[in-house]
Structure 1
Amino acid sequence: MSKFALAAERLRVPLGGAEILHGVSVAFPAGRWTAIVGPNGAGKTTLLKALAHLLPYQGTVRLAGRDAATWSARERAKQLAWLGQGEGAASDLLAYDVVMLGRLPHQSWFGAPGAQDRALVEASMRETQCWDWRGRALASLSGGERQRVLLARALAVGAPLLLMDEPLANLDPPHQADWLRIVRAHVQRGGAAVSVLHETTMALHADEMLVMKAGRVMHQGPCAHPATHRALERVFDGRVAVHAIAGQWVALPNEFVTVDNAPQTDAREVLRP
């Protein structure tokens, strides 16, 4: 079995007459969480969608060591779970039914869900704390509640690989912490996770970081390594800086900020515990 859950070689993605990714080669280890970061327009979402076979691409994508193009759609759906940015489902569907959609790759055509499907759906909804509104229509949920239902749907697939684009959208800080715990539990079980994040401090909690700019990979390495910190700072033109605070790495604005109409002060002083 390949030590890489997912890899790409010389990946190019043309969209609207422009090339968005320029020969990107990356590899994501099994049993690790990799965060993809970079400024707007870096190609982060495009890369993730190409890896998930949601966009046409040139080059090679390998899933569990095998050319992903040789997998059937059903095989890929069992191996790879996707949580997209701003995703939804039919608004009149109940939350429970939305999560059950994650079990479709494991069911026969027109087959009814079995006991295992129901058990995995319940476990996923309890893990993301959305079981209590399983009987509510998706349209009746807040943005954060809907996001937790969609995360439960991705978990219900039971795939070894999770690909998530902006999974923290609409989640408040406590539920962001819950998401972090869920991802950590997934990789501790031997799975792999790849997430595009704008929240750079949360991204620094990952095992590895892939730093992108203008459709190219600028750096990939452990989140705790100084070279990764410097790469992160460079792609944001020195406007953020990585610091150790309370035993954790955080990315702070490297400029003066105004807080609650107070005099301008250094962001590191404002956020110091």
Structure 2
Amino acid sequence: MVLSIINLSVKLGDQKAVDNLSFDMNRGEVVGLLGPNGAGKSTLMRAITHLQLHDGSISIDGKDPAALSSNERARLVAYLPQTRTIGWRITVRDLVALGRMPFRAFGTRESATDREAIEAALELTDTQHLASRIASELSGGEQARVLTARAVAQTTPLMVADEPASGLDPAHQIMLMQALRRLASQGRSVLVSLHDLTLAARWCDRVVLLDKGSVADEGRPDKVFTRQRLATVYGVRTQIAHSADGLVITPTDLVER
């Protein structure tokens, strides 16, 4: 088991953003984290990556992240936050290479392992052709892919990605999800928050559906994504079709309250 969360709660001001939440992730899984805005997805991810104070228990690869140094945590979990603006002039390759810093002593040169991880991350995210470009001069979608490559280069057992498909065109959304699946096939685990129900249904092994900071349902996408459940959690009516590529879920209207 690569991630275990038991009775996790996070309070933001007077409100509980995450309320007594528990779930596990196995090695080699892609788990989708879904739910409406304000359901607690980003707060949960920040708690997992030790960026948010919380109550309850979190274990990553059998270790308590709170008991580790920042460098030790960075070897366990890579975090791709929702805000992905690159504010400094640096080449794409050098930016992706920052993902290798937890594995190197300060001032030392890249090892062969580092170079291999960097090139693999560029290839996986289809950003090799951008390697010599200045990262801050790229489009928003290109910057998102480059920052994903940096997280991939970290080669951690767990990757936590907060809405990585946001801002990407349909082709690169699919390429991103294919990349996450390839990571899982290599034995890494990916927790990814998504708003696109069809992307989640097509590419995730399991989904965890949040509502008001709690788990509304979890399991295989075809079991969780029912018209009734989506109406209850999202307040929308949906059409659900089964295609050769998996479920296709289309929100069609609001549920009458």
Deviation at 1:171, TM superposition (A): 1.1
Instruction: Specify the alignment match of 2:132 in structure 1.
Output: 135
Range with greater deviation from structure 2 (119-128 or 97-106):
119-128
Q: Which aligned pairs between 1:61-72 and structure 2 lie closer than 5 A?
A: 61-72=58-69
1:129 & 1:47 partners in 2: Cα distance?
Answer: 29
Task: State which of 121, 137, 142 in structure 2 corresponds to 1:124.
Answer: 121
2:236 & 2:50 partners in 1: Cα distance?
Answer: 34
2:166 & 2:236 partners in 1: Cα distance?
Answer: 25
Q: Please say if 1:251 is aligned against 2:249.
A: yes
Structure 1 residues 221, 228: closer, same or farther in 2, change over 3 A?
Answer: farther
Deviation at 1:67, TM superposition (A): 2.3
Instruction: Specify the alignment match of 1:150 in structure 2.
Output: 147
Instruction: Specify the alignment match of 1:263 in structure 2.
Output: none
Which AA in structure 1 matches 2:217?
H
Query: Matched residue of 2:164: which SS?
Result: coil
Q: Which aligned pairs between 1:144-223 and structure 2 lie closer than 5 A?
A: 144-205=141-202, 206-223=204-221
Deviation at 1:41, TM superposition (A): 0.8
Percentage identity across aligned positions?
A: 32
Deviation at 1:8, TM superposition (A): 1.1
Query: Matched residue of 2:9: which SS?
Result: strand
Q: Please say if 1:60 is aligned against 2:25.
A: no
1:154 & 1:7 partners in 2: Cα distance?
Answer: 21
Which AA in structure 1 matches 2:192?
S
Deviation at 1:53, TM superposition (A): 1.0
Instruction: List gaps (5 residues or longer) in structure 2.
Output: none
Q: Please say if 1:23 is aligned against 2:20.
A: yes
2:243 & 2:120 partners in 1: Cα distance?
Answer: 35
2:179 & 2:96 partners in 1: Cα distance?
Answer: 16
Query: Matched residue of 2:94: which SS?
Result: helix
1:93 & 1:15 partners in 2: Cα distance?
Answer: 35
Which AA in structure 2 matches 1:218?
A
Deviation at 1:132, TM superposition (A): 1.5
Deviation at 1:165, TM superposition (A): 0.2
Residue-by-residue CA offset, 1:100-150 (whole Å, 9 max, x unaligned): 110000001222222321222122112212122212212210011111111
Query: Matched residue of 1:159: which SS?
Result: coil
Instruction: List gaps (5 residues or longer) in structure 1.
Output: 257-273
TM-score, normalized by length of structure 2? 0.92
2:4 & 2:26 partners in 1: Cα distance?
Answer: 9
Instruction: Specify the alignment match of 1:232 in structure 2.
Output: 230
Instruction: Specify the alignment match of 2:5 in structure 1.
Output: 8
1:132 & 1:241 partners in 2: Cα distance?
Answer: 39
2:64 & 2:239 partners in 1: Cα distance?
Answer: 38
Query: Matched residue of 2:141: which SS?
Result: helix
Contact 1:5 1:29 in 2 (8 A): yes
Structure 1 residues 173, 10: closer, same or farther in 2, change over 3 A?
Answer: same
Which AA in structure 2 matches 1:76?
R
Deviation at 1:65, TM superposition (A): 2.5
Deviation at 1:185, TM superposition (A): 0.9
Query: Matched residue of 2:2: which SS?
Result: strand
Which AA in structure 2 matches 1:166?
E
Contact 2:86 2:136 in 1 (8 A): no
1:247 & 1:187 partners in 2: Cα distance?
Answer: 19
Query: Matched residue of 1:104: which SS?
Result: helix
Deviation at 1:241, TM superposition (A): 4.0
Regions of 4+ moved over 6 Å: none
Instruction: Specify the alignment match of 1:264 in structure 2.
Output: none
Query: Matched residue of 1:254: which SS?
Result: strand
1:218 & 1:255 partners in 2: Cα distance?
Answer: 21
Residue-by-residue CA offset, 1:17-57 (whole Å, 9 max, x unaligned): 32211111121222211101111110111111111111111
Deviation at 1:224, TM superposition (A): 2.6
Deviation at 1:219, TM superposition (A): 0.8
